[in-house]
Amino acid sequence: MAGGHAAFNPEPVADFVDAAVLGDGEEVVLAITEVVREWKTEGRPGGRDGLLLRLAASGGVYVPRFYDVDYLPDGRIRAVAPNRDGVPWRIHKHTVMDLDSWPYPKNPLVPLAETVHERYSVEIFRGCTRGCRFCQAGMITRPVRERSITTIGDMVQGGIERSGLDEVGLLSLSSADHSEIGAIAKGLADRYDGTNVSLSLPSTRVDAFNVTLADELSRNGRRSGLTFAPEGGSERLRKVINKMVTEDDLIRTVATAYSHGWRQVKLYFMCGLPTETDEDVMQIGELAKRVIETGREVSGRRDIRCTVSIGGFVPKPHTPFQWAGQLDHETTDARLAKLRESVRSDKRYARAIGFRYHDGKPGTIEGLLSRGDRRVGRVIEAVWRDGGRFDGWSEHFSYERWAVACERELAREPVDLDWYTTRDRDVDEVLPWDHLDAGLDRDWLWEDWQDALDPDGAVEVEDCRWTPCFDCGVCPQMDTEIQIGPTGKQLLPLSVV
């Protein structure tokens, strides 16, 4: 059984899994267990298929073998339809509506070896309604549901006691957006003042950063680097992706950070976003130079650093960009080489700006897996038979192996690697995941895609946490609602002083 975010398009692995579950696992795993238990008690009627049929009929589990995919002569999908009675046409995601009832993990496993993220992670809320158009995580986990400050405090306390870890990560898609993040950070910093326990947030939105928060988080620890993700180099492109951050916002934020003692800022960007030109990507370099300039000015020091990290954009199912053609890897590489050259050749900044990016080829294969259909399963199998393992690690990844497998396995189909990746889709095309329901209204997604492409400049969408609902469809479809604080509660000291 597969789950997690990638299960929102499990079609490329449909031949290798019995079932996929969409959305939050906490409650549905119990419902599944119940079905399995009943089936066993009754003497396993129908064998494996009998059990899968029961799970499929429950409406909450997608069993690919009970659906037939029919193709048009040009390779697009004509229809996906159930091939058994009692199996629903659409499968819906699960949404847990009270995260406080699920304060897990309570007893985290502690590995014997040192791991990369050696910290106790507490998910402080789920979902994000900022509406970044590239972001699958934000789209498929709507609506926003916060954990309360008191549950977070209890989870941190229990997690530290039971695991022995001394770093706590307060995780979510945009942690500084929690309605009580200030009180949470201060409360935890007070509780663990003078101990070895340190707190961290993942990357912070430029517009949500504030010094008090950053100070609280670094009270017990080092003042390490700060990470922001403007994602798009130019203001125009940030509007296209609905990341409402201006260059001035960013400069103001980094100025605050540098003047309060931070020396390092890390900035994340993407290359290959829809409508992007060379010029948009070159703006990343200009922005980084302005960041360094500002840092030197406000701190009066020369040892200011800015690391620019760039990933290739891969269009994802269930997002407004699901219809977009992906940029080919040759153009991605050429654009990034040009940017690197312009940063390196400017002696005033070359040593202060770190530059990290990967070549575009892995992104093309990610694109194949991201929006592929069942025919891609043959390619995956061929790569595996040819020795492909751990392809996410660059030292094991072979683009050639994938390209050859695509050519061989798709030779009799009217489709190929380009067809899956660089091709624009239109509104009428049946997408491989259209029968899997993340709650988002398809028409809304399409309109949002058109808003991104508006020739008069992209139209932006606000965050429905603080503005009226803009009808993305999730809440009525899933019978859910936004749950945010503030609760007004405080974290009390752990022991009476």
- Residue pair 268/203 in contact (Cβ under 8 Å)? The answer is yes
Q: Is residue 166 packed enough to be buried (19+ CB in 10 Å), middle (13-18) or exposed (0-12)?
A: middle
- Residue pair 382/408 in contact (Cβ under 8 Å)? The answer is yes
Residue 132 Cβ, how far from ligand SF4 at the closest point, in Å? 14
Site for ligand SF4 contains 482 (CB under 6 A): yes
Comparison of 387 and 468: residue with beta carbon closer to ligand SF4:
468
Residue 443 Cβ, how far from ligand SF4 at the closest point, in Å? 13
* Residues 144, 237: Cα–Cα separation, whole Å: 26
Q: Count the neighbouring beta carbons within 10 Å of the beta carbon of residue 113.
A: 5
Of 102, 384, 419, 470, the one binding ligand SF4 (CB under 6 A) is 470
Per-residue burial over 407-419, b if 16 or more Cβ lie within 10 Å, else e, is: eebbeeeebebeb
Residue 118 Cβ, how far from ligand SF4 at the closest point, in Å? 34
Comparison of 96 and 282: residue with beta carbon closer to ligand SF4:
96
- Residue 373 phi, psi (nearest 5): -115, -165
- Residue pair 376/11 in contact (Cβ under 8 Å)? The answer is yes
Site for ligand SF4 contains 464 (CB under 6 A): yes
Among residues 83, 76, 179, the alpha carbon closest in space to that of 427 is found at: 76
Stretch that binds ligand SF4, among 78-86, 285-293, 380-388, 466-474 (CB under 6 A): 466-474
DSSP calls for 39-98: HHHTT-TTHHHHHHHHHHHTTS-B-GGGEEEEE-TTSSEEEEEESSTT--SSEEPB--S-
Of 57, 97, 453, 469, the one binding ligand SF4 (CB under 6 A) is 469
* Subset of residues 104 to 143 that bind ligand SF4, contact rule: CB under 6 A: 129, 142-143
Stretch that binds ligand SF4, among 50-58, 240-248, 465-473, 485-493 (CB under 6 A): 465-473
Site for ligand SF4 contains 430 (CB under 6 A): no
Site for ligand SF4 contains 283 (CB under 6 A): no
* Residues 100, 489: Cα–Cα separation, whole Å: 14
Stretch that binds ligand SF4, among 156-164, 314-322, 428-436, 469-477 (CB under 6 A): 469-477
- Residue pair 132/470 in contact (Cβ under 8 Å)? The answer is no
Stretch that binds ligand SF4, among 99-107, 234-242, 364-372, 464-472 (CB under 6 A): 464-472
Site for ligand SF4 contains 474 (CB under 6 A): yes
Residue 460 Cβ, how far from ligand SF4 at the closest point, in Å? 14
Comparison of 94 and 374: residue with beta carbon closer to ligand SF4:
94
Q: Given the rule CB under 6 A, which residues bind ligand SF4?
A: 129, 142-143, 464, 469-475, 482
